[in-house]
C-alpha cells in the first residue's frame, strides 16, 4: 500500500498535475501509521512510500549520470537507486518519529513532523534537495492562496493538516464538526487569499525576448561547435533588438569570459547600447586564483556580473568529500567543481530596473530568491535542463519557478537551453511558454512590480519557529491528556478496592 501511495503522490506534481491526488496518497501513508503500527513498521512504510515517489519522480537522475556523466548502465542504475533510497529515508524518519511520539492520530503533530522533515531535506542537508516537496503540488488548488504568506513549506504543512483532519473524520468520532469546520475555513480562506494583490505594478509593461538555442548537451562543449553556437545566439538576438530585455540561457556561451570578451561580448554590448536594450548572457568565469564560477553577465549601458551561490550538490560542488570524489572517480564520472559566488551580491539591472537573478538550481529555494526582493522589480532565471533530456524534470523545474513567482509577487522570466522557456506572472501562472527541444525565441510582455508579500518579508524562519512551537504544544497536550487518562483509570481501580 505504501508503494502505491508513493506512486500516487508523484502524480500530484508536474507534468501530471493531478493535485488532488496528494491527499489520498498521504492519507494512505498516514493511515498505515495508525493503530497497532510499531516505529519500525512505520519507518519501513515511510521508506517504501519515498522509494516509489522518488523512483518515479526523480528517475531523470539516471539520464544525467549515464548520458552525460560518462558512467556505464550498471553504475548509473546503482547510483540512481542509491540516490532514490537516500531521499526515501526522510519519509521513513517521519514515520518513525510520528509513531514513537504516539502522534499518528494527532493531525497537528503529524503535519508538524512532516514539515520539519521536508525542511531538513529541502534546505539543510547536502545543500538541500527540494524536489517533490508537498507544497509544490498545490499551485492549482485553493491552498495556493497561502503561498504568498507561507511559501512552499507552509503550504505543504496545510496540505498535510488537511489530509490528517480528513483522515481523522473517518477514523475517530470526537470533534467531528470542529474538524469539518476547520477544513471548510482553511480552504475557503485560501480561495479568498488568492484574490489578494500583495504587490502592485511599477511603471509600464516591458517586452522580453527569451533565446532558446536548443544545443544538445553532448555537443554543447565540443570545441568545434563553439563558433557555431556563438553565431546562433547572435543571429537570434539580432532579430529582436526591439525588446526591452533579451535573455540567454545558462552557460549559453560555451567558453570562459576571457576567451570571448574582446571579439564577441564587447561588440554585443555595443550593439545593445545602440538599440537601447539590455542583454543578459551566461557563461563560466574565472577568479584571480583560478576559481571557476557559473555566472550571468548583464550587458547594456553598463556591465554587471552575478555568480551562482547555491551550487548543485554533486553536479557543481562535491559534498561528503573525499568519499564522494573517490567513488565518482572510480566510476569515471566527470562533474563540475565550481566556487560559490557569495551571498548578498548586488542586484543586476535591465531596462533601468533591478532584478533578482537565479541560475538553474537556485530557483528551487524560496529564501534565496527573496533575498533583496524589496529593490527588485522582477525575477530572472537562466537554466540548462538539457542535462535531464525529455524527462519529468523540466516541467517539475518550471513548477518550482512558478512557486517563486507567486511567493514573491513578481513576474519571472525564464530562459532555458532546451526548455521550458517561459514567462510566469505574479500569480504563478505561465502566460507564455516556448515549445521544448526547438530553436526559438519567446517574446512576451511583462509587468515590473513593487512591494513585498508577507513571505518575502518574513521568509521561512518565523514559519518554522511558529509551527515548531505549535507542534511542541500539541505534543505536550497529547501526552498530558494521555497521562490524565491513565491517572483516572488508576484512581477508579483504587476506589473499586
User: What sign does the dihedral 215-218-223-224 (CA atoms) show?
Assistant: negative
Among 179, 220, 308, 427, the active-site one is 308
Confirm whether 250 is a catalytic residue. Answer: yes
Chain center to CA of 43: 26
List the grid coordinates of 478.
497529547
Annotate 283-327 with DSSP letters as a single string. Answer: EEEE-TTS-EEEEEEEESSSEEEEE--SPPBTTTB--STTHHHHH
Quick check: is 308 catalytic? yes
Query: Are residues 277 and 239 in contact, defined by beta-carbon separation less than 8 angstroms?
Result: no
The rounded distance, in Å, linking the Cα atoms of 424 and 406 is 9
Q: Which of 360, 362, 393, 407 is catalytic?
A: 360
Angle (CA) 301 305 309, round 5°: 155
Residue 376 C-beta-side C-alpha neighbours within 13 Å: 25
Residue 433: enclosing H or E segment and its boundaries? Answer: strand 430-433
Distance (Å, rounded) from C-alpha 481 to C-alpha 485? Answer: 6
Pair 33, 99: CB distance under 8 Å: yes
CA dihedral sign, ordered 461, 464, 467, 471: negative
Q: Which is catalytic among the residues 250, 316, 362, 407?
A: 250
Give the residue carrying C-alpha cell 552557460: 251
Q: What are the residue numbers of the active site? A: 250, 308, 360
Amino acid at each position: 500500500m505504501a508503494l502505491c501511495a508513493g506512486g500516487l503522490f508523484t502524480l500530484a506534481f508536474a507534468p501530471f498535475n493531478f493535485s488532488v491526488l496528494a491527499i489520498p496518497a498521504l492519507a494512505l501513508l498516514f493511515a498505515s501509521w495508525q493503530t497497532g503500527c510499531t516505529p519500525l513498521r512505520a519507518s519501513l512504510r515511510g521508506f517504501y512510500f519515498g522509494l516509489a515517489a522518488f523512483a518515479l519522480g526523480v528517475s531523470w537522475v539516471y539520464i544525467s549520470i549515464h548520458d552525460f556523466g560518462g558512467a556505464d548502465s550498471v553504475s548509473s542504475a546503482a547510483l540512481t537507486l542509491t540516490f532514490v533510497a537516500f531521499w526515501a529515508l526522510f519519509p521513513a524518519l517521519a514515520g518513525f518519529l510520528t509513531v514513537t511520539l504516539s502522534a499518528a492520530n494527532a493531525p497537528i503533530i503529524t503535519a508538524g513532523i512532516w514539515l520539519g522533515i521536508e525542511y531538513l531535506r529541502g534546505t539543510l542537508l547536502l545543500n538541500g534537495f527540494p524536489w517533490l516537496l508537498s507544497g509544490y503540488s498545490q499551485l492549482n488548488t485553493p491552498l495556493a492562496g497561502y503561498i504568498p504568506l507561507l511559501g512552499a513549506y507552509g503550504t505543504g504543512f496545510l496540505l498535510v493538516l488537511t489530509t490528517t483532519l480528513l483522515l481523522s473524520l473517518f477514523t475517530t468520532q470526537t470533534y467531528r464538526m470542529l474538524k469539518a469546520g476547520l477544513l471548510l475555513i482553511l480552504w475557503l480562506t485560501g480561495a479568498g487569499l488568492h484574490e489578494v494583490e500583495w504587490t502592485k505594478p511599477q511603471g509600464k509593461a516591458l517586452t522580453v525576448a527569451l533565446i532558446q538555442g536548443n544545443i544538445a548537451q553532448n555537443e554543447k562543449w565540443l570545441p568545434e561547435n563553439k563558433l557555431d553556437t556563438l553565431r546562433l545566439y547572435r543571429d537570434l538576438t539580432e532579430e529582436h533588438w526591439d525588446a526591452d530585455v533579451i535573455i540567454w540561457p545558462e552557460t549559453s556561451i560555451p567558453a570562459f569570459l576571457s576567451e570571448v570578451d574582446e571579439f564577441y561580448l564587447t561588440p554585443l554590448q555595443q550593439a545593445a547600447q545602440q538599440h537601447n536594450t539590455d542583454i543578459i548572457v551566461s557563461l563560466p568565469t574565472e577568479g584571480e586564483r583560478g576559481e571557476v564560477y557559473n555566472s550571468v553577465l548583464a550587458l547594456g549601458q553598463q556591465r554587471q556580473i552575478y555568480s551562482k551561490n547555491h551550487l548543485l550538490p554533486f553536479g557543481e560542488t562535491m559534498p561528503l568529500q573525499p568519499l564522494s570524489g573517490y567513488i565518482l572517480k572510480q566510476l569515471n564520472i566527470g562533474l563540475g567543481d565550481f566556487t560559490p559566488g557569495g551571498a548578498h551580491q548586488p542586484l543586476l539591472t535591465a531596462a533601468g530596473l533591478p532584478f533578482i537573478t537565479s541560475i538553474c538550481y537556485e530557483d528551487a529555494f524560496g529564501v534565496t530568491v527573496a533575498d533583496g526582493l524589496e529593490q527588485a522589480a522582477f525575477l530572472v532565471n537562466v537554466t540548462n535542463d538539457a542535462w535531464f533530456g525529455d524527462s519529468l524534470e523540466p516541467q517539475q523545474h518550471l513548477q518550482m519557478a512558478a512557486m517563486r513567482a507567486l511567493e514573491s509577487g513578481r513576474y519571472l522570466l525564464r530562459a532555458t537551453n532546451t526548455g521550458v522557456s517561459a514567462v510566469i506572472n505574479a500569480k504563478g501562472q505561465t502566460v507564455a511558454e516556448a515549445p521544448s527541444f526547438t530553436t526559438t525565441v519567446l517574446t512576451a510582455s511583462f509587468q515590473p512590480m513593487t512591494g513585498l508579500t508577507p513571505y518575502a518579508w518574513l521568509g521561512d524562519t518565523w514559519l518554522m519557529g511558529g509551527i515548531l512551537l505549535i507542534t511542541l504544544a500539541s505534543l505536550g497536550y497529547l501526552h498530558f491528556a494521555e497521562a490524565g487518562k491513565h491517572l483516572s483509570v488508576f484512581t477508579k481501580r483504587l476506589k473499586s478496592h
